[in-house]
Each structure stands twice: as C-alpha cells, then as structure tokens.
Amino acid sequence: MYEEILDQMQELLKDEIENFGGDLGKLEQAVKAMMMSFGKGLLQRVVESCPNGYEGGSSIACDQCDGSMKFIQHRPRDIHTLFGWIKLKRAYYHCSDCGAVSVPYDKASGLVLMQGH
C-alpha cells in the first residue's frame, strides 16, 4: 500500500519532476508543498469525523453548580496547525442555572491553553 501511495504522489508531481532540470531545491519545494497540502487535508478530514466534544446526549453535568449544561450547538473555531489553518466544529454547552459554558473538545485537546480563540 505504501508503494501505491508513493506512486500516486509521484504522478501528482509529474510536471515538476519532468521540469526540475536537476534543481533538487526546486523539486524539494514542490514535494514539501504537496506534503503540507496532503497533511492539512488529512488532518481536516480526521477532525471532521470526530464527535469533537459532543457527549452523546442533550446535556452534561455542570462543573460550576452541579446543575445541568444543555447542548446548544456545534460552534466553529479556526486552528493554526503545523500544516496550516483548519476549521473545527466543537460541541458547546451552557448552564442556564449559573451561566457557565463548556466546550469539552477544547479542554480535552489542549486548546483552552490557547487564549483569544
């Protein structure tokens, strides 16, 4: 399978390979650009296939007041990754008793440490 993937990637770079004229740096940049695009696309696809903090029900326990936080919707967030910007949709919960909010995916994935997003 690995060889098949490499064959497909080489086919995608066919024009660059034919025209690189021995300039290894130029070819290296073309391969890097393709790998970055591939990585970003794969990361986006994997993130979209995950529940992203949705607990499977319409509510979760509130950590602030022991009440119940209601699932409101999936809210978007742009994240800058090693491969570039991707879009997340994460479950957003709200407690009508105390006003607390929770985005479980942000906490579980370490995104709460990234203030301002």
Span 83-93, pLDDT tens digits: 999 999 999 99
pLDDT in tens, 43-85: 999 999 988 998 787 899 998 998 999 999 999 999 999 999 9
How many residues can be counted in the chain? 117
- Give the pair of three-digit tokens for residue 52: 């992203």
Residue 1 in this model has a pLDDT that exceeds 90 = no
- Give the pair of three-digit tokens for residue 19: 């025209």
Contact call for residues 93 and 104 (beta carbons, < 8 A): yes
Spatial distance between the Cα atoms of 107 and 100, rounded to a whole number of angstroms:
15
